[in-house]
Amino acid sequence: MVKINFRIWILIIALILALLMIYPRFQDGVVIKSVDKDYKAFESGLRPGMEILEINSVKIDSLNKYLEVTSDLLKDSSEKRISVITKKDSFIFLDSNLSAITVSEIPNSNIKTGLDLSGGVRALIKPVNGSLTDLEMSDLIDITNQRLNVFGLTDLTVRSAKDLEGNNFLLIEVAGAAPDDLESLIAKQGNFEAKIGNVTAFIGGDKDITYVFRDATQSAVYTPEPLGDGSYLSRFSFTITLSAEAAQRHADITNRLSIDPNSGGQYLSENLTLFLDGELVDELRISSGLKGQVASQISIQGSGIGSTPDIALSEARAQMHKLQTLLLTGSIPYQLEIIKLDIISPSLGEAFTKSMIYLALVVFIIVSTVIFIRYRKIKITSAVILTMFSEMFITLGIAALLRWNLDVAGIAGIIAGIGTGVNDQIVIIDESESKDNYSMKEKIKRALFVVFGAFFTIIAAMLPLFWAGAGLLRGFAFTTIIGITVGVLITRPAFADLVKQLGDKQ
């Protein structure tokens, strides 16, 4: 009978927590991945993340069923009544089909898979005009995120990366089927325009917008105020600085406008509309006090609404950051060069997934067989198998908690961690069965000393891989480090206790 001491209890608790993080579920159906904002499906309230239960009273229990129903809608091009029932609400609108919606099967767990497994496109981009500072790279990430979101590409990751030489790169990953024009979207520098009526008042870039204030001195989000319907409104404001030419142009345009009689004299008859690459992204009222005024500084105001004060405050901050980002778009004129563009089909990603599962099973079988042949003890072999499974499961749990995209490199890192763990377990077993004149407790201590020494060596070897290949090997380094850390802190001590108990009985 194995005695469960505190090290084994730590392993059991870690396995339970990993199970909660992974949250396996066996649910049929589809979930919305994206909705084109220019279609009636978006106007009716359908949003990414909603799980579809029924379409026109037909139960949707699989991706094939969804494709069957939507194919029937495509046969008739006339506008018709479409009813969509989700877990959150019911939506009814008039449209000819559901081509504005892209869906996928409901995930079986919280584990996020990368492009190698789910399919999609990955672009590695380098600024042509040399290296960027951290602040410039942060602005470029915000701008890229915003402009791709404008084009409906919401299931994406945009992050910075560096190689071992210190060169800056931008890594863009879009899960699912990649649009045909993604390459041209990320290659263009962008075009921001602010119009009053049909006349351009100023454009993005330092030619017209000399500065966008983002510090607390010239930008603010105000305390939420209750509205009559039970919701809350939080206002925000920030200042932008225009060049002399843009300020004069703005004065000439506003001087020709009248005051909106329905605004109580507060606003002009036309709004300030913001466009990014020809797409309308926001619309602002113009204060009547700016009529004909050559103002180099303009205060831009807006608001966020939410069901609670915290939500309203958060929405206002998000809206302010969005506007600031839009006004910066084009103000940092970086020419971008696509270094590498990988496109992986969803079917190929599914094949990758199956191959990696088969590989993991083969690794388990081979390692278990070798251990059994070496020691001829079923209990020792079972302990090794349990430890391998525990390390893999806890590593997956941590990846799910951190929302880390698990790709082929990441799975390879998990397998590498398992291999390192088996090596450590063999050291512990051999040391425990050695003929040296030491107590079992002392033998285990000596074995764990070797294990910890190997741990720090592997950590030192993995850290450079975070930057090697412009960060494309980061998944391998991350999962390897997580796996061996889980092993050293949780599974190896528990395994050593099991071996010690088995040795004491013998």
Domain count, the chain: 4
- DSSP assignment of 12-75: HHHHHHHHHHH------SEEEEEE-TTSHHHHHT--TTPEEEEETTEE--SHHHHHHHHHHHHH
Residue 111 located in a structural domain:
no
Say which residue, 430 or 279, is predicted with more confidence.
430
CATH number at residue 428: 1.20.1640.10
> pLDDT tier at 189 (50, 70, 90 boundaries)?
low
In this prediction, residues 491-505 reach a mean pLDDT of 77
Q: Are residues 457 and 361 in the same domain?
A: yes
pLDDT on residue 284? 80
Residue 420 located in a structural domain:
yes
Q: Distance (Å, rounded) from C-alpha 125 to C-alpha 78?
A: 43
Return all residues near 502 (Cβ < 8 A) that are at least 6 apart. 379, 380, 383
pLDDT on residue 13? 93
In this prediction, residues 26-37 reach a mean pLDDT of 78
Q: Are residues 436 and 304 in the same domain?
A: no
Q: Are residues 458 and 411 in the same domain?
A: yes
Q: Are residues 402 and 428 in the same domain?
A: yes
Q: Are residues 353 and 501 in the same domain?
A: yes
> pLDDT tier at 17 (50, 70, 90 boundaries)?
very high
Distance of CA 435 to the CA centre of its chain: 53
Question: How does strand 112-113 pair with strand 405-406?
Answer: parallel
pLDDT at 37 exceeding the cut of 50: yes
Residue 352 located in a structural domain:
yes
Q: Are residues 360 and 483 in the same domain?
A: yes
Residue 156 located in a structural domain:
yes
Is 248 buried (19+), middle (13-18) or exposed (0-12) by CB count in 10 A? Answer: middle
Pick the last residue of a domain from 343, 372, 395: 343
Q: Are residues 151 and 214 in the same domain?
A: no
Q: Are residues 44 and 15 in the same domain?
A: no
Q: Distance (Å, rounded) from C-alpha 298 to C-alpha 287?
A: 10
Q: Are residues 12 and 36 in the same domain?
A: no
| Lowest-pLDDT choice from 82-96, 257-271, 331-345, 401-415 | 331-345
pLDDT at 216 exceeding the cut of 70: no
pLDDT at 94 exceeding the cut of 70: yes
In this prediction, residues 216-227 reach a mean pLDDT of 81
Pick the last residue of a domain from 278, 310, 343: 343
Residues 71, 174, 398: CA angle, nearest 5 degrees: 110
Q: Distance (Å, rounded) from C-alpha 50 to C-alpha 363?
A: 38
Residue 226 located in a structural domain:
yes
Return all residues near 261 (Cβ < 8 A) that are at least 6 apart. none
In this prediction, residues 335-357 reach a mean pLDDT of 71
pLDDT at 331 exceeding the cut of 80: no
Q: Are residues 339 and 354 in the same domain?
A: no
Is 456 buried (19+), middle (13-18) or exposed (0-12) by CB count in 10 A? Answer: exposed
> pLDDT tier at 406 (50, 70, 90 boundaries)?
confident
Q: Distance (Å, rounded) from C-alpha 398 to C-alpha 229?
A: 42
The residues facing 171 across adjacent strands are: 124, 159
The CA-to-CA distance between both ends of the chain, in Å, stands at 13
Residue 417 located in a structural domain:
yes
| Lowest-pLDDT choice from 35-39, 190-194, 329-333, 379-383 | 329-333
Is pTM beyond 0.85? Reply is no
> pLDDT tier at 183 (50, 70, 90 boundaries)?
low
In the numeric block, which tokens belong to residue 153? 């590409």
Q: Using one digit for the tens of pLDDT, what is the confidence trace for 303-319?
A: 888 888 888 888 888 77
| Lowest-pLDDT choice from 15-19, 25-29, 123-127, 271-275 | 25-29
Residue 276 located in a structural domain:
yes
Q: Distance (Å, rounded) from C-alpha 233 to C-alpha 223?
A: 8
Q: Dihedral angle at the C-alpha atoms of 368, 371, 375, 379, nearest 10 degrees?
A: -40
Return all residues near 217 (Cβ < 8 A) that are at least 6 apart. none
- The domain in which residue 54 lies consists of 30-105
Pick the last residue of a domain from 343, 367, 398: 343
Say which residue, 348 or 267, is predicted with more confidence.
267
Q: Are residues 447 and 498 in the same domain?
A: yes
Q: Are residues 92 and 135 in the same domain?
A: no
Residue 283 located in a structural domain:
yes
